[in-house]
Structure 1
Amino acid sequence: MPQITNPILPGFNPDPSILRVGADYYIATSTFEWFPGVQIHHSTDLANWTLVTRPLTRKAQLDMRGDPDSCGVWAPCLSHDGKKFWLVYTDVKRKDGSFKDAHNYIVTADRIEGPWSDPIYINSSGFDPSLFHDDDGKKWFVNMMWDHRTRPLKFAGIALQQFDPKAGKLVGPRSNIYQGTDLKLVEGPHLYKRNGWYYLLTAEGGTAYDHAVTFARSRNIDGPYETHPDKHILTSKDAPFAALQRAGHGDLVETPEGKTYLVHLTGRPTTQERRCVLGRETAIQEAEWTEDGWIHVKQGPVPSLHVEVPGTRDDTPYWAEQRYTFDKGLPPDFQWLRTPEPERIFSTDTGKLRLFGRESIGSWFEQALVARRQTHFSYDAETVLDFSPTDERQFAGLTAYYSRYNFFYLTVTAHADRQRELLLLNSEASWPDGNLTISQPVQIPNTGKVKLALTIRGKALQFFYAVGDAALQPIGPVLDASLLSDECGGHQAHGSFTGAFVGVAASDLNGTALAADFDYFTYRPVKHESDRYEI
Structure 2
Amino acid sequence: MPQITNPILPGFNPDPSILRVGDDYYIATSTFEWFPGVQIHHSRDLANWELVSRPLTRKAQLDMRGDPDSCGVWAPCLTHDGEKFWLVYTDVKRKDGSFKDAHNYIVWADKIEGPWSDPVYTNSSGFDPSLFHDDDGRKWFVNMAWDHRVRPLLFAGIMLQEFDPAQGKLVGPIKNIYQGTDLKLVEGPHLYKRNGWYYLLTAEGGTAYDHACTFARSRNIDGPYETHPDQHILTSKDAPLAAIQRAGHGDIVETPEGKTYLVHLGGRPTTQERRCVLGRETSIQEAYWGEDDWLYVKNGPVPSLHVEVPGTRDEAAYWEEQRYTFENGLHKDFQWLRTPETERIFNTDNGKLTLIGREAPGSWFEQALVARRQTHFSYDAETVIDFAPTDERTFAGLTAYYSRYNFFYLTVGAHSDGQRELLIMASEMSWPDGKLRFPAEPVRIPNAGKIKLKLTIRGRKLQFFYAMDGEELKPIGPVLDASLLSDECGGHQAHGSFTGAFVGVAASDLNGTASQAHFDYFTYTPQHDPSDRYEV
Instruction: Give me the whole-angstrom Cα distance separating, in 2, the residues matched to 1:163 and 1:151.
Output: 31
**Cα offset for 1:416?**
3.2
Residue 402 (str. 1) matches residue 378 (str. 2): no
Instruction: Give me the whole-angstrom Cα distance separating, in 2, the residues matched to 1:159 and 1:534.
Output: 42
Correspondence 1:163-312 to 2 at 5 A? 163-312=163-312
* Identity over aligned pairs, percent: 84
Give 1:115's aligned residue.
115
Give 1:520's aligned residue.
521
Give 1:477's aligned residue.
478
**What's the secondary structure of 1:317's corresponding residue?**
helix
Correspondence 1:323-334 to 2 at 5 A? 323-334=323-334
- Please tell me whether the aligned partners of residues 458 and 530 of structure 1 are also in contact (alpha carbons under 8 angstroms): yes
Instruction: Give me the whole-angstrom Cα distance separating, in 2, the residues matched to 1:491 and 1:377.
Output: 23
Instruction: Give me the whole-angstrom Cα distance separating, in 2, the residues matched to 1:68 and 1:408.
Output: 19
* TM-score, normalization by structure 2: 0.99
**What's the secondary structure of 2:318's corresponding residue?**
helix
Give 2:457's aligned residue.
456
Residue 374 (str. 1) matches residue 374 (str. 2): yes
Instruction: Give me the whole-angstrom Cα distance separating, in 2, the residues matched to 1:222 and 1:84.
Output: 25
**Cα offset for 1:315?**
1.4
- Please tell me whether the aligned partners of residues 104 and 121 of structure 1 are also in contact (alpha carbons under 8 angstroms): yes
Give 2:488's aligned residue.
487
**What's the secondary structure of 2:417's corresponding residue?**
helix
Give 1:510's aligned residue.
511
**Cα offset for 1:158?**
0.1
- Please tell me whether the aligned partners of residues 380 and 455 of structure 1 are also in contact (alpha carbons under 8 angstroms): yes
1:389-436 superposed Cα distances (whole Å, 9 cap, x missing partner): 010000000000000110000000001331000000000111011111
Instruction: Give me the whole-angstrom Cα distance separating, in 1, the residues matched to 2:491 and 2:73.
Output: 18
Give 1:162's aligned residue.
162
| Unaligned ranges ≥5, structure 2 | none
**What's the secondary structure of 2:317's corresponding residue?**
helix
- Please tell me whether the aligned partners of residues 197 and 220 of structure 1 are also in contact (alpha carbons under 8 angstroms): yes
Instruction: Give me the whole-angstrom Cα distance separating, in 2, the residues matched to 1:78 and 1:251.
Output: 10
**What's the secondary structure of 2:122's corresponding residue?**
strand
* TM-score, normalization by structure 1: 0.99
**Cα offset for 1:320?**
0.3
For 1:415, give the aligned amino acid: H
Instruction: Give me the whole-angstrom Cα distance separating, in 2, the residues matched to 1:344 and 1:390.
Output: 20
For 2:57, give the aligned amino acid: T
Give 2:345's aligned residue.
345
**What's the secondary structure of 2:343's corresponding residue?**
helix
**What's the secondary structure of 1:417's corresponding residue?**
coil
Query: For the aligned residues, what is the CA RMSD?
Result: 0.7
- Please tell me whether the aligned partners of residues 376 and 534 of structure 1 are also in contact (alpha carbons under 8 angstroms): no
Instruction: Give me the whole-angstrom Cα distance separating, in 2, the residues matched to 1:485 and 1:446.
Output: 36
Instruction: Give me the whole-angstrom Cα distance separating, in 1, the residues matched to 2:487 and 2:140.
Output: 33
For 1:455, give the aligned amino acid: T
Residue 19 (str. 1) matches residue 41 (str. 2): no
Correspondence 1:439-450 to 2 at 5 A? 439-450=440-451
Residue 534 (str. 1) matches residue 527 (str. 2): no
1:38-74 superposed Cα distances (whole Å, 9 cap, x missing partner): 0000000000000001000000000000000000000
**What's the secondary structure of 2:256's corresponding residue?**
coil
1:84-128 superposed Cα distances (whole Å, 9 cap, x missing partner): 000000000000000000000000000000000000000000000
1:199-220 superposed Cα distances (whole Å, 9 cap, x missing partner): 0000000000000000000000
1:367-393 superposed Cα distances (whole Å, 9 cap, x missing partner): 000000000000000000000001000
**Cα offset for 1:7?**
0.1
Instruction: Give me the whole-angstrom Cα distance separating, in 2, the residues matched to 1:311 and 1:225.
Output: 36
Instruction: Give me the whole-angstrom Cα distance separating, in 1, the residues matched to 2:114 and 2:167.
Output: 23
**What's the secondary structure of 1:487's corresponding residue?**
helix
Instruction: Give me the whole-angstrom Cα distance separating, in 2, the residues matched to 1:396 and 1:344.
Output: 16
Instruction: Give me the whole-angstrom Cα distance separating, in 2, the residues matched to 1:486 and 1:121.
Output: 30
Instruction: Give me the whole-angstrom Cα distance separating, in 2, the residues matched to 1:531 and 1:148.
Output: 42
**Cα offset for 1:14?**
0.1
**Cα offset for 1:229?**
0.1
**What's the secondary structure of 1:123's corresponding residue?**
coil
**Cα offset for 1:491?**
2.2
Count of matched residue positions in the alignment of Structure 1 and Structure 2: 535
Instruction: Give me the whole-angstrom Cα distance separating, in 1, the residues matched to 2:431 and 2:450.
Output: 34
**Cα offset for 1:533?**
1.2
**4+ aligned runs moved over 3 Å, structure 1:** none
**What's the secondary structure of 2:466's corresponding residue?**
strand
1:326-348 superposed Cα distances (whole Å, 9 cap, x missing partner): 00000000000000001000000
